Amino acid sequence: MRRGNVEQPSSIITFLVMSPLTTFIQFMLFYGKKIRIASAFILLSTSAPLWFVSEAIFPQLVQAYTARVDLSIDRLPGDNYETLLRRAEAAARAATQRNFDQDILVTDVSIYVSVQNYGAIAPVLVLEVSRPQWRTRPDPQLWAKYFKTSRSLLFFGENFKKPTANQPDTDTTPAPESQPDDPKVPPNMTPPAPTQPTN
């Protein structure tokens, strides 16, 4: 019986030691969810005001960008190269002003103007300007860069005939020299070369 008395106190001590530990674990499990919910609520409720305060003190930079526009104009009857350039400058000026007026985030504008002349298309000018430059001097001739080869690409050189109202400009070769009138030879044919007598 002495053995039974010795074992009994040890089981009571184990039960007493385990009881506060289990109670603490159950307490932590029960209140752990509430603590997580409360900490999440505190974090969320303080993050929004902190974000507003940081944005008020240190605002982010505005995302500025360059607007790029491609314009194409057609040659009108009676237009020469200089009038086409004036029309291209007017179109570039209008497009530049429209882009700056419509979008306040646009800091730079790049306008490419092409001309179409009897099926040939070539760029004639590019206008690249920033908002402060345009505000001080809204002149397209000041900011435009002209393409020198456009005149020949659009058939405006000295070797090309100007079209008339009755005749379309299909042949760009110079007219042949006039032939002397010969009653024996029709006007479309060239006279035969004289023959040399042989000895």
DSSP 100-131: HHH-TTEEEEEEEEEEEETTEEEEEEEEEEEH
As a whole number of angstroms, the distance between CA 132 and CA 129 comes to: 8
Output the average pLDDT for the chain: 74
Look at residue 158 in the predicted model and tell me its pLDDT. Answer: 57
Cβ atoms of residues 93 and 69 within 8 Å: no
CA nearest 122: which of 169, 155, 93, 86? 155
Q: How confident is the model at residue 110 (pLDDT cuts 50, 70, 90)?
A: very high
Residue predicted with more confidence, 169 or 98: 98
In sequence order, which residues have a C-beta less than 8 Å from that of residue 12 and are 6 or more positions away?
none
Q: Which of the residue ranges 16-20, 48-52, 71-75, 165-169 would you say has the lowest mean pLDDT?
A: 165-169
Global pTM reads: 0.51
Strands, E assignment, the chain = 65-74, 106-117, 120-130, 144-146
- Which residue type, as a one-letter code, is found at position 78? G
Question: Which is it for strands 120-130 and 106-117: parallel, antiparallel or unpaired?
Answer: antiparallel
* Residues 161-191: tens digit of each pLDDT: 555 444 444 444 344 444 444 444 444 444 4
Q: pLDDT value at position 182? A: 44
Q: Give the tens place of pLDDT for each residue, 121-176.
A: 999 999 999 999 999 999 999 999 999 998 888 888 654 555 544 444 444 434 44
159 in Cβ contact with 175 (< 8 Å):
no
Question: 196 pLDDT band (50/70/90 cuts)?
Answer: low
Look at residue 18 and tell me whether its pLDDT is greater than 80. Answer: no
Provide the residue type at 7 as one letter.
E
Q: What is the mean pLDDT of residues 1-21?
A: 52
pLDDT of 56 reads 76
Tokens, residue 104: 């306040």
